[in-house]
């Protein structure tokens, strides 16, 4: 379970999150929608521990543990995964090598045995196939020269291999073609279980056709201004945020 | 830095132990008498002693160069020991080698016992001023390859040594080459006869152990027509508070269609986090591509030493000959590196490739200095140079000093240079996937160096990758 209580955060002098409260019970998938610049990506970075984001007030618990004091890598080991809105390129770093290093780092921290190259490749190849990615994906350098959609799929590949307990997807659907959108959704749905929860940040209802959320929140100007069922997303699709903010 | 942090930082140099063994050394300081004693110790013929004495007298007239981008207190050449060797008589075979020495090399990851040795790699182990063991000599001699300590080659193969020694790096080339020529103590000699592909990887492992002792290694490798060889050198030293001098000369000669691949993994003690101690590594390395279509390829991974001053170069005499220089130089804390290459194009259609990756962290200074010189005779010559610098933190420096001189209008010279920092978003991306900050830096740095690391013999590439990560530990955060 993820519990965010009255979270305030700023970048430099600028306060971006102004008291976000929200709870995602284990097993549920929540969507976060909201206008550009509302603070959605900021929230995802604060949850995963990026430097430069100062929490001035509030608390975040994941499965009862206060995570704000943890380093990003320890949050990853605790099971938190962020699919980046803008995945980062790592020149010269092979994708397979990166993935195996990541998987083994997390396994080590969790006290599990590391995977050898053969065992890992078997898992990775199967995941690549499930995500309908090209075979050479594993051989290429991390995100270098990947198309926008390929980068997003690569995030999903990482998620599939890291098997998180909490996935935060920051606009993973942006820039995806219709088939890719379905594949990403299948990837998330495949992880659905009583032990998995997700925060899905998106601007579009169409993703939520495939990943049906338990709750939809609207984040605007650093606060959650509405929460509701999946129907809320349809309402937003029809009327935009303008009406909401007035309300 | 707290005392415990510093202790951790220093532990990271895992080769810093000393070997406790009875040693014989000459009195401190340099004189004609010391030169004579070194020569006598090695039972050298008169011509070799003459050569040394000439070099010594020349050295006395020379001045230490000051153009490199490095700073150090003046070196008192009369305060050094010029010869130190295990006191026991030279071993006749591996079975006679002092067990303490065998243990030392075992600890360094270089087992000298042939059964335990890395498959396919023959090793010459140089400890302070002498070679203590050379493995697989019998196997090699079956194919006609000579691989032995240079002191032995002076006695056993004088015609070859006389012909080639100093023919690529003349005694008077520079201050350190003159000094080395006067006092060199040991190093390796390799001769690959016509048409032979050396059946094993050859390597020399240099270890400085004794206190206040300079190591003056001398290496000479000759590949005759159509011959080829791959050679690797490794270097380590104990952690000591004072600076120690390593002034080597390496000469390579490649005849028609011959190929020499020379790889270095240099991991001399770099000094502590405050810049105390460490090796001064002043090295002259040069290869002559004398024959047509010959090829000399230098690959270096330089992570150690307090100061590195080194420019492995190629003289491309033979038509169609090829020179390559692939370099990774890492500096951290207070290390200083001024390194690069010279490619001298003389023959027609000669080509050279330079790929240099400099990584600076801490308060270190890292300079690439390179010369590409195309003589009027070198029609159709081509060079491609790629120099990339990566900065970690805000207190280090990276400098690129390329010199290009072309006297032939048909020559093509390309130079590209980049400077970048490890981006915060790259580090965060890796860490959000569970990598520690140091592993993240290691991964990104290895990615940055990939084009060079892939040139190393496979057995050593993995070792080099680990070394890069270790050298940069503590450089972020
Ligand atoms: N490094 C920064 N320095 C200053 N302001 C920043 C920084 N990063 C983000 N901001 C500001 O914080 C606000 C929230 O940004 P954030 O990226 O969280 O929005 P978002 O809701 O994800 O928007 P979008 O839908 O466009 O992705 C914006 O006004 C943005 O300009
Ligand atoms: Mg965003």
**What would the pLDDT profile of A111-136 be if each residue is shown by its tens digit?**
999 999 899 999 999 999 988 888 88
Burial pattern B183-217, b for ≥16 Cβ within 10 A else e, equals bbbbbbbbbbbeebebebbbbbbbbbbbeebbbbb
Q: Residues B45, B47, B48, B49: is their CA dihedral positive or negative?
A: positive
Distance A34 CA to ligand 2 centre (A): 10
Nearest chain B residue (CA) to A101: B435
Q: What is the pLDDT of residue A203?
A: 92
Residues of B in contact with A98 (CB under 8 A): 430, 433, 443
Question: What is the rounded CA–CA span in Å between residue A166 and residue A30?
Answer: 11
What are the residue ranges of helices labelled H in B125-259? 137-142, 150-156, 158-164, 175-183
Q: How far is A154 from chain B (nearest CA, A)?
A: 13
**What would the pLDDT profile of A76-123 be if each residue is shown by its tens digit?**
999 999 999 999 999 999 999 999 999 999 999 889 999 998 999 999
CATH number of A2-246, picked from 3.40.50.1100, 3.90.550.10, 3.40.50.300, 3.90.1150.10:
3.40.50.300
Residues of B in contact with A89 (CB under 8 A): 426
Cα–Cα distances in angstroms (integers) from residue B250 to residues A180, B145, B180, B245, B298, in the given order: 58, 19, 10, 16, 12
**Nearest to residue B170, comparing CAs of B180, B155, B160?**
B180
Q: How far is B233 from chain A (nearest CA, A)?
A: 26
How many CB atoms within 10 Å of residue B138?
8
Residues of B in contact with A72 (CB under 8 A): 428, 431-432
- Tell me phi and psi for residue B37, to 5 degrees: -65, -40
Distance A219 CA to ligand 2 centre (A): 11
DSSP category for residue A79: T
Q: What is the pLDDT of residue A242?
A: 78
Half-sphere exposure of B441 (CA within 13 A, CB side): 22
Cα of A50 vs its chain's centroid, Å: 14
Question: What is the rounded CA–CA span in Å between residue B288 and residue B252?
Answer: 6
Nearest chain A residue (CA) to B453: A92
Q: What is the pLDDT of residue B6?
A: 39
The tens place of each residue's pLDDT in chain B, 477 residues long, gives: 333 333 444 447 778 788 888 888 888 889 999 999 999 999 999 999 999 999 999 999 999 988 888 888 888 998 888 888 887 777 777 777 788 878 877 777 777 776 666 666 788 888 877 777 788 888 899 999 999 999 999 999 999 999 999 999 999 999 999 999 999 988 899 999 999 999 988 988 888 777 778 889 999 999 999 999 999 988 777 777 788 888 999 999 999 999 999 999 888 888 888 888 888 899 999 999 999 999 999 999 998 888 899 999 999 999 999 999 999 999 988 889 899 999 999 999 999 999 999 999 888 999 999 999 999 999 999 999 999 999 988 888 899 999 999 999 999 999 999 998 888 899 999 999 999 988 898 899 999 999 999 898 877 787 788 888 777 776 765
* ipTM of the complex as predicted: 0.96
CB contact under 8 A, B425 and A141: no
Query: Which pair of structure tokens corresponds to residue B430?
Result: 């890796």
Cβ of B476 under 8 Å from any chain A Cβ?
A: no
Which residue among A52, A97, A102 sits closest to B434, beta carbon to beta carbon? A102
Cβ atoms of B297 and B326 closer than 8 Å: yes
Question: What is the rounded CA–CA span in Å between residue A202 and residue A213?
Answer: 12
Distance A236 CA to ligand 2 centre (A): 18
Question: What is the rounded CA–CA span in Å between residue B377 and residue B421?
Answer: 41
Cβ of B120 under 8 Å from any chain A Cβ?
A: no
Question: What is the rounded CA–CA span in Å between residue B208 and residue B279?
Answer: 9
Question: What is the rounded CA–CA span in Å between residue B64 and residue B175?
Answer: 6
Cβ atoms of A124 and A96 closer than 8 Å: yes
Tell which B residues from 167 to 186 touch A, by Cβ distance under 8 Å: none
Vertex B302 angle, CA B406 and B140, to 5°: 95
Tell which B residues from 284 to 343 touch A, by Cβ distance under 8 Å: none
Q: What is the pLDDT of residue B114?
A: 67
Question: What is the rounded CA–CA span in Å between residue A190 and residue A185?
Answer: 8
Which residue among B435, B444, B446 sits closest to A73, beta carbon to beta carbon? B435
- Tell me phi and psi for residue B433, to 5 degrees: -100, 5
Cβ atoms of B20 and B100 closer than 8 Å: yes
Domain boundaries, chain A: 2-246
Q: What is the pLDDT of residue B4?
A: 38
Q: Name the burial class of residue B81, with classes exposed (0-12), middle (13-18) and buried (19+) by CB atoms within 10 angstroms of its CB.
A: buried
Residues of A in contact with B359 (CB under 8 A): none
**What would the pLDDT profile of A160-211 be if each residue is shown by its tens digit?**
999 999 999 999 998 888 888 998 899 899 999 999 999 999 999 889 999 9
| Torsion on CA atoms B218, B222, B227, B232, rounded to nearest 10 | 10
Q: What is the pLDDT of residue A105?
A: 94
Judged by DSSP in three states, B318 sits in coil
Which residue among B428, B446, B447 sits closest to A51, beta carbon to beta carbon? B428
Cβ of B379 under 8 Å from any chain A Cβ?
A: no
Q: Residues B78, B80, B85, B86: is their CA dihedral positive or negative?
A: positive
- Tell me phi and psi for residue A149, to 5 degrees: -65, -35
Ligand having the closest approach to the CA of A10: 1
């Amino acid at each position: 379970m993820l519990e965010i209580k009255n979270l305030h955060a700023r970048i430099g002098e600028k306060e971006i999150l102004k008291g976000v409260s929200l709870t995602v019970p284990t097993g549920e998938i929540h969507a976060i929608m909201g206008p550009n610049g509302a603070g959605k990506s900021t929230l995802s970075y604060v949850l995963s521990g990026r430097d430069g984001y100062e929490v001035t007030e509030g608390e975040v618990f994941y499965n009862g543990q206060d995570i704000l004091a943890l380093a990003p890598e320890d949050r990853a080991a605790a099971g938190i995964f962020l699919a980046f809105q803008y995945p980062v390129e790592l020149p010269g770093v092979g994708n397979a090598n990166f993935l195996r290093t990541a998987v083994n780092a997390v396994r080590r921290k969790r006290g599990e045995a590391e995977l050898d190259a053969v065992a890992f490749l078997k898992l990775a190849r199967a995941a690549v196939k499930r995500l309908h990615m090209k075979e050479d994906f594993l051989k290429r350098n991390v995100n270098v020269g990947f198309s926008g959609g390929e980068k997003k799929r690569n995030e999903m590949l990482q998620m599939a291999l890291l098997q998180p307990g909490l996935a935060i997807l920051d606009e993973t659907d942006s820039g995806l073609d219709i088939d890719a959108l379905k594949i990403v959704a299948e990837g998330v749905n495949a992880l659905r279980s009583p032990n998995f929860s997700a925060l899905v940040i998106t601007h579009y209802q169409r993703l939520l056709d495939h990943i049906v959320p338990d709750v939809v929140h609207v984040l605007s100007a650093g606060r959650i201004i509405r929460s509701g069922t999946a129907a809320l997303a349809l309402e937003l699709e029809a009327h935009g945020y303008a009406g909401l903010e007035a309300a | 830095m707290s005392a415990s942090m510093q202790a951790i930082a220093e532990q990271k140099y895992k080769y810093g132990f000393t070997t406790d063994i009875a040693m014989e050394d000459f009195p401190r300081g340099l004189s004609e008498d010391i030169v004579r004693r070194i020569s006598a110790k090695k039972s050298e013929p008169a011509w070799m002693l003459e050569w040394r004495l000439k070099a010594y007298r020349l050295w006395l007239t020379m001045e230490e160069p000051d153009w490199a981008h490095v700073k150090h207190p003046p070196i008192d050449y009369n305060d050094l020991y010029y010869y130190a060797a295990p006191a026991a008589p030279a071993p006749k075979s591996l079975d006679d080698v002092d067990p303490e020495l065998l243990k030392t090399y075992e600890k360094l990851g270089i087992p000298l016992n042939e059964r335990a040795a890395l498959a396919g790699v023959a090793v010459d182990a140089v400890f302070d001023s002498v070679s203590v063991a050379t493995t697989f000599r019998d196997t090699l001699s079956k194919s006609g390859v000579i691989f032995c300590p240079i002191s032995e080659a002076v006695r056993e193969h004088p015609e070859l040594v006389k012909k080639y020694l100093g023919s690529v790096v003349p005694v008077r080339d520079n201050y350190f080459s003159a000094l080395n020529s006067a006092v060199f103590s040991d190093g390796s000699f390799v001769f690959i006869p016509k048409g032979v592909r050396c059946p094993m990887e050859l390597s020399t492992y240099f270890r400085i152990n004794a206190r206040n002792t300079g190591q003056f290694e001398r290496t000479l490798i000759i590949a005759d027509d159509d011959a080829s060889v791959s050679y690797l050198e490794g270097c380590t030293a104990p952690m000591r508070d004072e600076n120690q001098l390593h002034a080597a000369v390496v000469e390579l000669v490649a005849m028609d269609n011959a190929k020499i691949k020379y790889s270095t993994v240099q991991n001399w003690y770099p000094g502590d986090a405050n810049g105390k101690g460490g090796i001064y590594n002043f090295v002259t390395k040069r290869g002559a591509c004398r024959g047509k279509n010959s090829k000399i390829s230098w690959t270096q991974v330089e992570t150690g030493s307090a100061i590195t001053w080194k420019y492995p170069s190629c003289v491309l005499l033979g038509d169609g000959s090829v020179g390559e220089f692939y370099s990774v130089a890492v500096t951290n804390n207070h290390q200083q590196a001024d390194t690069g290459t010279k490619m001298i194009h003389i023959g027609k259609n000669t080509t050279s490739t330079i790929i240099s990756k400099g990584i600076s962290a801490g308060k270190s200074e890292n300079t690439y200095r390179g010369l590409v010189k195309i003589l009027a005779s070198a029609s159709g010559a081509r060079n491609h140079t790629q120099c990339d610098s990566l900065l970690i933190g805000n207190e280090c420096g990276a400098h690129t000093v390329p010199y290009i001189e072309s006297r032939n209008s048909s020559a093509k010279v390309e130079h590209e240079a980049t400077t970048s920092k490890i981006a915060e978003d790259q580090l965060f991306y890796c860490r959000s996937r569970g990598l520690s900050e140091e592993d993240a830096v290691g991964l990104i740095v290895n990615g940055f160096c990939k084009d060079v690391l892939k040139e190393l013999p496979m057995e050593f590439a993995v070792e080099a990758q680990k070394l890069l990560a270790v050298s940069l530990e503590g450089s972020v955060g």
